[in-house]
Structure 1
Amino acid sequence: MHAPGPSRPPDPSEPPELPEYAERVLEVAEHIPSGRVMTYGDIAEWLEEGGPRQVGRVMALYGGAVPWWRVVRSDGVLLPGKELRALEHYRAEGTPMREAGRTTEGHTPRIDMRRARWDGEI
C-alpha cells in the first residue's frame, strides 16, 4: 500500500461546486414568477429545511445567478445597499409596491407583500 498523494489544488477556471441545499434554494428562486416575491422564510418552508438565515446566506453567497430581487424580507423592505437595483427590477416587472411614508428612512418604497407574495403554486 502506498499513501495517497497530496490533494490536487482546485482549478480556478472551474466554478466551485454548490452545496446541495444552495442548489435547492436557487432552484426555487429561479421559479418565482416575474412580478412576484417569496420571503427567505417562505423558501425554507417550501424546502422543509433550514430557515430564513440559511436561505439568506445562500442568496448572499450564490444569488447573483438567479433573480435575487424576488427573494425578500417578510416586511417588504428592499435589500439594503441594493435598493435602487432592486427597484428597477420591480418596476420593470410590475411588482406591487407600497409608497414610502414620510417617516421612512430614505423614502424608499416597500414591496406590497399582500399582493406580491407568491405561494409557490403553479
Structure 2
Amino acid sequence: MDDATVERVRALVRAIPPGQVRSYGEIADEAGLSSARLVGRLLAEDGHDLPWHRVVRANGTFAPHIAAEQAARLRVEGVLAADGRVPAELRPRRR
C-alpha cells in the first residue's frame, strides 16, 4: 500500500464516531482497496493510535484474537455486543 492509501485508511478509521462501528469492507471500499483484509493488516501493524475497536466484520462479529478487548472498548462507548456480535441496528450496511 502506498503512503497516501495508508493515510486514507487511517483517516477513515479516525473519523468513526464513538459508539458507532464500520466494517473492514466499508473502509476498504472508501479507501479504494480491493480487499478488506488489507484494512485489518494495516490496523494490526499501524493502528495502535487509532480507534481500531470501531472496525468490525461485516456480520458484526469481532476477530477472535482481539474480541475481548474490542468488546470491552466498545462497551465503554455504549455499544453492547450480544453473543459476540454488534447489535443489528449498529452493524455496517453493505452498499
Q: Alpha-carbon deviation of 1:118?
A: 5.7
Q: Counterpart in 2 of 1:89? A: 73
The one-letter code matched in structure 2 to 1:115 is E
As a proportion of its length, which structure holds more helix? 2
Aligned length: 92
Mapped to 2, the partners of 1:39 and 1:93 lie a distance apart of 17
Structure 2 SS opposite 1:64: coil
Could you tell me whether the CA contact under 8 Å between 1:36 and 1:118 is conserved in 2?
no
TM-score by length of 2: 0.82
Where structure 2 has 5 or more consecutive residues not aligned to the other structure, the ranges are: none
Structure 1 SS opposite 2:64: coil
| Alignment of 1:43 onto 2:27 | yes
Per-residue CA distance 1:75-121 (angstroms, 9 max, x = gap)? 22222222221111111101253x22xxxxxxxx2112x321467xx
Mapped to 2, the partners of 1:47 and 1:117 lie a distance apart of 19
Where structure 1 has 5 or more consecutive residues not aligned to the other structure, the ranges are: 1-17, 101-108
What is the identity percentage for the equivalent residue pairs of Structure 1 and Structure 2?
33
| Alignment of 1:111 onto 2:95 | no
* Greater relative contact order, per chain length (Cα 8 Å cut-off, separation 6+): 2
| Alignment of 1:32 onto 2:16 | yes
Q: Counterpart in 2 of 1:103? A: none
TM-score by length of 1: 0.66
Structure 2 SS opposite 1:49: coil
Mapped to 1, the partners of 2:80 and 2:16 lie a distance apart of 14
Q: What RMSD, in angstroms, separates the aligned Cα atoms of the two structures?
A: 1.9
